[in-house]
Amino acid sequence: MPREHLLKIGVSGIRGVVGDFLTPGLACAFAQAFGTYVGMGRVVVGRDTRSSGEMLYHAVACGLQAAGCEVVDVGILPTPTIQMYVGATRARGGIAITASHNPPEYNALKLFNSEGLFFNSYERSELLDLYHQSDFRRASNAEIRRATADHVTPPRLHIERVLQHVDVSRIRRRRFRVALDAVNGAGSIMTTGFLRDTLGCDLHAISIDPTKPFPRIAEPRPDTLGDLSNLVRTAGAEIGFAQDPDGDRLAVADETGRVLDNDDVLALAVDAALRRLPGDVVVNLTTSSVIDAVAAAHGRRVYRTPVGEANVVEMMQAVHAVIGGEGSNGGIIFPAVHLCRDSYTGMAFLLERLAETGDTMSALAARLPRFHRKLGKVSYEHGRLGSLMQALEESFPGVQTDRSDGLKLILPDAWIHVRASNTEPLLRLAAEARSEPEVEELYARVLGLFEQGG
């Protein structure tokens, strides 16, 4: 595999396999560029539980201090918690050292501006120019600032914000029996306290030791959460939650142990938000049409963006959306808490909805309009993407197209979306239709085309 494919700089920062590609030297230089860009002052740094995290923290802190920044170490925390703390304290910016849902050999620097948001396209472009030119600020001895730590305020701030938007007493009265798989990630301690102590749940948890490796594939999907499903059934839980290593993504299992499709989880969160507040919805191009159906039931519009939290957030700001997210990756963005993917808001919304209705989780999900989806990924030869996309479009003549992120073909009651991954050297394929045979046929048709090389 070509070397450059294992180090990517994209909408959320810099990411790669630690060692040959993402090195301490590169992390230090990138952090120094970041510190130069945001200016002298406080920069918040936190991380997930990967074994490379502590090493990269020291490299990042070194680069920031070399640029004259004061490092505020918040330790191991979920990414949304770090983002909220950055915005609330008006730091110059923030860096989360996490590769999110990627395998453990990866790590990354996620970069936030002073509002605790991912850099927009203009900010990214300026920072990258500065980095590539190695035009860094080099602090003098007298200008080098200290490093401080705050491990208490960020989680308290995050939880307080979430609790402002749910009826905590109603949730606590139900004393839900809840299963949790935190993948030994950044949410291991915070999520346990949130569900058990704050929301009063009877909690049955696995993989909540942040000192241990990830026990499963990091991305929380139906095919990776067999242990959570078993825990739901053996514990008699009413709902099960799973997070990714940096705690921004949420997966949900119903009371039978069936893991819901992430798009349906987002749809339930959208419904909960639209019952509270007036406003429109923003999701990415790969998110299911179930969102359109839910929004239409509330008389609201759905806007779509290229994949990536930064893209969704930019559009949410532009249209003053009340909720948004990325269904296929379990990302729920509720700006009244913060403009970031936040699994904690999702957990609170779903528990409150169960408490309000008295329904089971499976009954809530069953009331959603039914769409069938199929997702996958294939590797592709570097330089062949353009010809592959052209061949795909030519194989579906006359259909509506969207080229804002790869290629989306919109058919009557169905769609296909193919794009290059933002985080891995892969093509991501998604298809949706009203029936399972139709979506299988669409997916197989696209896969066959790519396997033939276009």
Please tell me the total number of residues recorded for the chain in this structure. Answer: 454
DSSP 118: B
Torsion of CA 198, 201, 203, 207, to 10 degrees: -40
Q: Are 13 and 111 in contact (CB under 8 A)?
A: yes
Q: Which of 12, 52, 100, 188 is catalytic?
A: 100
Query: Which residues, 6+ apart, have CB-to-CB distance to 281 below 8 Å?
Result: 270, 274, 291, 295, 300, 301, 302, 303, 321, 322, 323, 324
Rounded to 5 degrees, what angle do the CA atoms 272, 226, 426 make? 80
- Whether 100 is catalytic is yes
The radius of gyration of the chain's CA atoms, rounded to the nearest angstrom, is 22
Q: 153-163 and 79-89 helices cross at what angle (nearest 10)?
A: 90
Identify the residue whose tokens are 């009371």.
255
- CA dist 17 and 6 (Å) reads 6
Under DSSP, is residue 420 helix (H, G, I), strand (E, B) or coil?
strand
Contact 309, 331 (CB under 8 A): yes
CA distance 218 to 215: 8
User: Which residues participate in catalysis according to the annotation?
Assistant: 100
